[in-house]
Amino acid sequence: MKKIFCVILVFIIALTLVSCRAERTDARAARHKGSVAESRVRDRRKLLQNSTNDENGESDKDGGASEDPAETLVLRLAEVHETGYPTTLADEKFAELVEQKTNGQIKIEVYPDGKLGSESEAVEQMQVGTVDFARVSLSPMAQYEPKLNVLLMPYLYDDNKHMWKVLNSPIGQEMLESISSAGLVGLAWYDSGARNFFLNREVHSVYDFAGARVRMQNNSLMFGLAEALGCQPVDMGMGDINTAIEQGILDGAENNIPTYESFGHVKFAPNYIFDSHSRIPEILAGSGKTFEKLSDDQKKIIRECAKETQEYEIEQWSEREKKSRDTVASQGVNFIELDEQTIADIRERCQPLYDEFAGDYKDTIEQIRNMAD
Ligand code: BDP
């Protein structure tokens, strides 16, 4: 009997010990679970905080648009060109001036080489405020404000001087401001020279364009232009052109000489045809969402600094145009000049585009034409 009692006692003690241990383990597990859950909540809160900051154009890294004047607001500028290209130099100048004139309150980081995405992506990111500034061609921008197509019409300007007369006139200012309809702030115009076709075949008459598959900018008017010449327009990034030509799925594209040179197209499409179909200015734009958070003083400084870089970019542009011309010449480009008749034929083919894309702005077109010397 005594023996049985002892066995039962030992069993009860063992059971109590096991259950105490189990409780401790459960408690630890619960604590661990709690800390995981808590840290998940913390992480999520942080993520939400970041995305709210991002939506507001702020980020953890930049410390946000603080009320504290001593804190630095870091803003991002998107650029598709490489470092050293005229527009990138102007972006950097803009950043430098803004930092200087705001006494370090606003710092603009320039992201070249399309690091923040394509130009259309940069525009869309500015609309939601996740990118603060972008330097883009007016061509993709016109997809967001069709009125801008007026400034892109083929053979609209007689020469660069004529284009600048227009851009610096009230028409240019009105066009610059028109992008507010898309939630953007137009800040400055930059030069981008004349655009010409370059192909892996020679072109000497308007008929030689027939059937060529050409990469065009992401803009309906530009697609229309290619079609008017009997080409097949293709939508693709500038960086994919060379491989596409090499693979035989593209015959060429169109651009100014500095871009033709910097993207190394000469090796793949050595025939550069001087048809000068368009002069498409570049635009430096800001995000409306970012602007909402700035003080009036800061907005004023940004606008002034942007305008100040316009002349600087024009100078850089004209230097680079000459250099690029020499560079591609040394790389074996076949420059093709077209005769007057061929240019007249191309212009005639482009004429219907005026009704289609600028039909509502006939007066403005006439005013622009009247501004030629
Ligand atoms: C270049 C412009 C660049 C455009 C590019 C293009 O500087 O902004 O993205 O043409 O054809 O001349 O896409």
Tell the burial category of 261 from Cβ atoms under 10 Å away from its Cβ (0-12, 13-18, 19+): buried
- Six-digit token pair at 259? 């871009």
Residue 342 Cα to ligand 1 middle (Å): 25
Q: Is the CB of 88 under 6 A from ligand 1?
A: no
List the Cα angle 2/6/11 in 5-degree steps. 150
Give 72's DSSP letter. P
User: How confident is the model at residue 3, as a pLDDT?
Assistant: 52
Contacts 24+ apart (CB under 8 A), 208-212: 212/251, 212/252
Q: Which fold has domain 73-192+281-318?
A: D-Maltodextrin-Binding Protein; domain 2 (3.40.190)
- Report how far residue 45's alpha carbon sits from residue 58's, in angstroms, rounded to the nearest whole number: 16
237 Cβ contact partners less than 8 Å away, ≥ 6 residues apart: 114, 118
Identify which of 224, 271, 226, 227 has the alpha carbon closest to the alpha carbon of residue 245. 271
pLDDT of residue 189: 98
Do the domains spanning 73-192+281-318 and 195-279+329-370 agree at the CATH topology level? Answer: yes
- What lies within 8 Å, CB to CB, of 139 at 6+ separation is 152, 217, 218, 219, 221, 222, 280
Measured in Å, residue 138 CA sits from the centre of ligand 1 at 9
C-alpha gyration radius of the chain: 30
Let me know if domain 195-279+329-370 sits in CATH 3.40.190.170.
Answer: yes
The pLDDT assigned to 71 comes to 83
Q: Is 143 in the pocket of ligand 1 (CB under 6 A)?
A: no
Question: Domain limits of the chain?
Answer: 73-192+281-318, 195-279+329-370
What local confidence, expressed as pLDDT, does residue 292 receive? Answer: 98
Ligand 1 centre and the CA of 344: distance in Å? 26
In contact, 213 and 269? CB cutoff 8 Å: no
What is d(CA 245, CA 252) in angstroms, rounded to the nearest whole number? 7
Residue 39 confidence (pLDDT):
31
Helical spans, DSSP H, in the chain: 2-55, 86-101, 119-128, 138-141, 160-167, 170-178, 220-228, 241-246, 257-262, 288-292, 296-330, 340-350, 352-358, 362-370
Cα separation, 265 vs 241, in Å, equals 8
pLDDT at 217: 97
Mutate to test the pocket of ligand 1, among 139, 148, 236 (most ligand atoms within 8 A of CB): 139
Q: How many CB atoms lie within 10 A of CB 49?
A: 13
Taking the C-alpha atoms of residue 232 and residue 216, their distance in angstroms, rounded to an integer, is 9
Cβ partners under 8 Å of residue 319, min gap 6: 86
Q: What is the pLDDT along the chain (373 residues), one digit of tens a residue?
A: 455 544 444 444 444 433 433 333 333 233 223 332 223 222 322 322 333 344 443 433 333 344 455 689 999 999 999 999 999 999 999 999 999 999 999 999 999 999 999 999 999 999 999 999 999 999 999 999 999 999 999 999 999 999 999 999 999 999 999 999 999 999 999 999 999 999 999 999 999 999 999 999 999 999 999 999 999 999 999 999 999 999 999 999 999 999 999 999 999 999 999 999 999 999 999 999 999 999 999 999 999 999 999 999 999 999 999 999 999 999 999 999 999 999 999 999 999 999 999 999 999 999 999 999 9
The whole-number pLDDT of residue 69 equals 56
CB 196 near ligand 1, within 6 Å = no
Q: How far apart are the first and last CA of the chain?
A: 125
Q: Which residues contact 285 (CB under 8 A, 6 or more apart)?
A: 123, 126, 133, 134, 135, 136, 141, 179, 184, 185, 186, 187
Cα distances from 243 to residues 185, 234, 264, in angstroms, run: 36, 14, 11
User: Model pTM?
Assistant: 0.82
pLDDT at res. 223:
98
Candidates 121, 192, 276: which one to mutate for ligand 1, based on the most atoms within 8 Å of Cβ?
192
Residue type (1 letter), 250: L
Please tell me the distance between residue 137's alpha carbon and the centre of ligand 1 in angstroms: 6
